[in-house]
Amino acid sequence: MHPAFDKKHNAVCLCARMNTNGGYGNFSVFGLPGTSNLFTLNSQNDNDPFVNVNKSGAANLLLGANELAEVSVTANGYSAQYGQLAGANVNYVTKSGTNALHGNAKYYWDGRILNANDFFNNANGVPRQFVNANQWAASMGGPIKRDKTFFFVNNEGLRVVLPTATSPVRLPSLPFQSATLMNLASTGMGAEIPFYRQLFKAFNSATSASRASAIPMGPGDLAGPGCGDLSILAPGVPCVVGYLASPNAFAHEWQLAMRIDQTIGGNDRLYGRFQTDRGVAPTYTDPINPIFSAISSQPEDQGQLAWTHTFGPRGKSAYRLGALFQRTVWAGQSRCRQRIASVLFRHERRLAFELKRYRDIYSARPRVHTVSNRRRPFVYGRQTHSESGAELPPRSGKRL
Residue 49 phi, psi dihedral angles, 5° rounding: -70, -15
Does a structural domain hold residue 239? no
> What integer pLDDT is reported at residue 95 of this predicted model?
95
Does a structural domain hold residue 75? yes
Contact 380, 369 (CB under 8 A): yes
Does a structural domain hold residue 349? no
Contact 250, 161 (CB under 8 A): yes
CA–CA distance, 380 with 121 (Å, rounded to integer)? 35
Residues 6+ apart with CB under 8 A from 171: 203, 204, 206, 209, 212, 240, 241, 242, 288, 352
Does a structural domain hold residue 287? yes
Q: DSSP of 252-301, one letter per residue?
A: EEEEEEEEEEEEETTTEEEEEEEEEEEEEEEEE--SS-GGG-EEEE--EE
Cα 116 from chain centre: 24
CA–CA distance, 204 with 288 (Å, rounded to integer)? 9
Residues 6+ apart with CB under 8 A from 397: 188, 189
- The total number of structural domains that make up the chain: 1
Contact 215, 238 (CB under 8 A): yes
CA–CA distance, 326 with 90 (Å, rounded to integer)? 20
> What integer pLDDT is reported at residue 153 of this predicted model?
98
Does a structural domain hold residue 308? yes
Residue 241 phi, psi dihedral angles, 5° rounding: -120, 160
> What integer pLDDT is reported at residue 390 of this predicted model?
39
Domain around 18? 3-93+101-166+247-327
CA–CA distance, 138 with 152 (Å, rounded to integer)? 11
Does a structural domain hold residue 309? yes
> What integer pLDDT is reported at residue 59 of this predicted model?
82
Greatest alpha-carbon span in the chain: 95
User: Could you list the mean pLDDT of each consecutive 10-residue stretch along the chain, which spans 400 residues?
Assistant: 50 49 62 83 86 80 90 82 81 94 95 88 85 95 95 96 86 89 87 88 83 83 79 84 87 95 92 94 84 84 93 86 86 52 40 38 35 35 36 37
CA–CA distance, 113 with 61 (Å, rounded to integer)? 23
Does a structural domain hold residue 120? yes
> What integer pLDDT is reported at residue 399 of this predicted model?
35
Predicted TM-score (pTM) of the model is 0.71
Is residue 338 within a helix (H) or strand (E), and if so which, with residue range? helix 335-344
Residue 119 phi, psi dihedral angles, 5° rounding: -55, -45
User: Which ranges of 108-171 would DSSP assign to H, the alpha helix?
Assistant: 119-123
> What integer pLDDT is reported at residue 10 of this predicted model?
54
Phi-psi region of 372 (alpha: psi -120 to 50; beta: other; left: phi over 0): beta
Is residue 90 within a helix (H) or strand (E), and if so which, with residue range? strand 89-94
Residues 6+ apart with CB under 8 A from 47: 38, 39, 53, 54, 55
Is residue 308 within a helix (H) or strand (E), and if so which, with residue range? strand 300-312
Does a structural domain hold residue 66? yes
> What integer pLDDT is reported at residue 389 of this predicted model?
38
